[in-house]
Amino acid sequence: MSWCEESTSRIDLYLDDELRGDELVAFEHHIKNCSSRRVMAFLV
């Protein structure tokens, strides 16, 4: 699984406020720089 796919799979955890520490930082950093359509749809 790519990092991108791994991040999109964590969207639900993020919305449930279940990401912590490094996971949360890495997720937020990724979605700000990601061009994935799934992530874009999530942000819109």
Could you tell me the CA-to-CA distances from 39 to 6, 7, 16, 29 in Å, in that order?
11, 9, 16, 12
Contact residue for Zn ion among 4, 13, 19, 24 (CB under 5 A): 4
Q: Does 19 bind Zn ion (CB under 5 A)?
A: no
| 28 alpha-carbon distance from chain centroid | 6
Binding mask 25-44 for Zn ion (x = CB under 5 A): ---------x-x--------
Residues near Zn ion (CB under 5 A), total: 3
- Map residue 42 onto helix, strand or coil: helix
Residue ranges binding Zn ion (CB under 5 A): 4, 34, 36
